[in-house]
């Protein structure tokens, strides 16, 4: 039997259940499909493709070493699969389940319909603790733990389907992707991911808990493997088991707390991806229907542009956005702040700002991104409204001003005591509106208005009744309370006892 292995967000050969399964069935044709329509979406970008291209080059090398080179095709998935299956007499397709955006969800439904009509079997295997068609969250955490601690899939011996032209990996320009300079983008590929994981677990990670909040220290103290996990260059199970093994060594100092926190965030990652798997529509609809009327659907164009370009006149906000633009990464607290400032101070709808951040994140993971975007925008109905004060964040997370000054060099003449509030500097008239913008909003006044509107919505009759329904639909149920601080709580009695929404998590758990 000839078997086609469809690689998607699993660009590796180690711990690859789908590849191991296919190898046991017959000769293997490993395939990756570059889908131009996907790469033209508002939540995808050239920087993401370039990282994926790095991973694909590395995957091609890995598969070549096993004797079955990667085949790459550009086009619509159904058309590519139909042509290859017909030409190579393929009767079975094997892949991993994918929790992607709404576009990939619809594409997989089209592929499934075509495969049924063509009489071609399609085996979709899990590669994480996320469960397809989950009926109840009861016992989910135990199931996730069982998957994570199970033995990794063996590296298979492959017999290749012969005579297939491998195809080339196109450039971003060849795919006609919009220009997207990212001079400090991380390199993709499994080797890069494993090097980062090893250095984090043995050298860089000890101050993780204390250092993850500031952009000054998080760049080194965080693992930086989130993009490799998003594309599957390394598996979540590999990372979890390596972390467990390192904990078993009982390293001294601050290592125990750091590794335990990191281990928890790996679990939270699956937990939030399960939310999008359960309800793909949260990419486009507020979890609480009343929040649909909270903000104008048509965003203020000037404010959106200023926020997108890092030109809001709020120094720490602009520094973080510019850093993200240049690197493709930002630590979790600053991601949360960017989203919160956009949603509250600038009063922009999350469906306008969410895609902007998605495009900038090299580590964009839809299953984390969209639930977290809604959390920070106050549209879930069950999470505490969290309005970050960007001036306070700048003073706390960049106390010396080094980060702000690096990424907003226009502020060079501003004395340290006025750096985060340059409008209070006596010399502001020579700078603001000339070399650096005046603030687009009054931070204190905008926060006050946003707070009144957001809490006013929650005081309306029936709001908490629907919030309780949201909890019932999306929360971790009995046995899964270990995830409560990272997301939704499920306890109906608690909701009745304390109707105030539970605390929000952070935007895109930092790994």
Pairing of strands 71-74, 90-96: unpaired
- Of 410, 216, 388, 399, which Cα lies nearest the Cα of 313? 410
User: Binding residue per annotation — 272?
Assistant: no
- The residue whose two tokens read 């395939």 is 31
CA distance 489 to 469: 12
Characterise 119 by phi-psi region: left (phi > 0), alpha (psi -120 to 50), beta (else): left
397 phi and psi angles, rounded to 5 deg: -90, -15
CA distance 426 to 158: 71
User: Binding residue per annotation — 208?
Assistant: yes
**Longest distance between any two alpha carbons in the chain, whole Å:** 78
- Is residue 394 classed as helix, strand or coil in its secondary structure? helix
- Of 151, 188, 156, which Cα lies nearest the Cα of 169? 188
The answer to whether the CB of 410 falls within 8 A of the CB of 426 is no
- Check the CA dihedral 410-213-46-304 and report its sign: negative
CA distance 403 to 388: 18
Annotated binding site: 208, 262
Annotated binding site for FAD: 208, 262
């Amino acid at each position: 039997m000839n078997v086609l292995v469809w690689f998607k967000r699993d660009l590796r050969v180690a711990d690859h259940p789908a590849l191991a399964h296919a190898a046991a069935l017959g000769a293997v044709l490993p395939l990756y499909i570059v889908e131009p329509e996907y790469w033209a979406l508002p939540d995808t970008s050239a920087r993401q493709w370039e990282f994926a291209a790095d991973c694909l080059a590395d995957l091609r090398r890995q598969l070549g070493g096993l004797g079955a080179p990667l085949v790459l095709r550009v086009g619509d998935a159904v058309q590519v699969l139909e042509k290859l299956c017909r030409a190579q007499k393929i009767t079975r397709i094997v892949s991993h389940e994918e929790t992607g955006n709404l576009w990939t969800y619809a594409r997989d439904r089209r592929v499934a319909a075509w495969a049924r009509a063509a009489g071609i079997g399609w085996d979709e295997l899990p590669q994480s603790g996320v469960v397809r068609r989950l009926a109840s969250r009861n016992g989910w955490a135990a199931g996730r733990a069982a998957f994570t601690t199970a033995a990794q899939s063996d590296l298979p011996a492959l017999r290749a389907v012969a005579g297939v032209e491998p195809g080339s990996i196109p450039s971003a320009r060849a795919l006609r992707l919009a220009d997207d300079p990212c001079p400090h983008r991380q390199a993709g590929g499994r080797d890069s991911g494993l090097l980062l994981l090893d250095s984090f677990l043995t050298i860089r990670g000890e101050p993780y808990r204390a250092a993850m909040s500031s952009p000054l220290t998080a760049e080194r103290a965080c693992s930086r493997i989130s993009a490799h996990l998003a594309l599957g260059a390394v598996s979540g199970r590999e990372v979890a088991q390596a972390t467990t093994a390192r904990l078993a060594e009982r390293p001294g100092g601050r290592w125990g707390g750091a590794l335990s926190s990191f281990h928890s965030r790996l679990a939270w990652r699956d937990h939030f991806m399960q939310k999008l798997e359960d309800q793909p529509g949260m990419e486009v609809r507020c979890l609480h229907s009343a929040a649909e009327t909270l903000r104008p659907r048509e965003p203020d164009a000037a404010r959106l542009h200023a926020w997108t370009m890092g030109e809001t006149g709020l120094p720490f906000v602009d520094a973080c956005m510019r850093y993200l633009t240049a690197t493709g990464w930002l630590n979790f607290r600053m991601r949360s702040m960017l989203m919160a400032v956009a949603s509250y101070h600038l009063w922009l709808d999350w469906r306008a700002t969410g895609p902007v951040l998605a495009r900038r994140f090299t580590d964009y993971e839809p299953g984390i991104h969209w639930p977290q975007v809604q959390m920070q925008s106050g549209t879930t109905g069950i999470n505490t409204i969290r309005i970050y004060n960007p001036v306070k964040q700048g003073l706390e997370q960049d106390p010396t001003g080094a980060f702000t000054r690096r990424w907003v060099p226009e502020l060079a003449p501003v004395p340290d005591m006025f750096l985060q509030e340059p409008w209070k500097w006596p010399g502001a008239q020579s700078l603001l509106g000339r070399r650096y913008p005046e603030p687009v909003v009054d931070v204190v006044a905008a926060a006050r208005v946003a707070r009144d509107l957001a809490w006013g919505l929650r005081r309306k009759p029936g709001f908490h009744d629907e919030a309780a329904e949201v909890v019932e639909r999306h929360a971790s149920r009995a046995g899964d309370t270990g995830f409560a601080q990272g997301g939704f709580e499920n306890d109906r009695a608690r909701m009745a006892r304390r109707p105030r929404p539970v605390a929000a998590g952070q935007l895109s758990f930092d790994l």
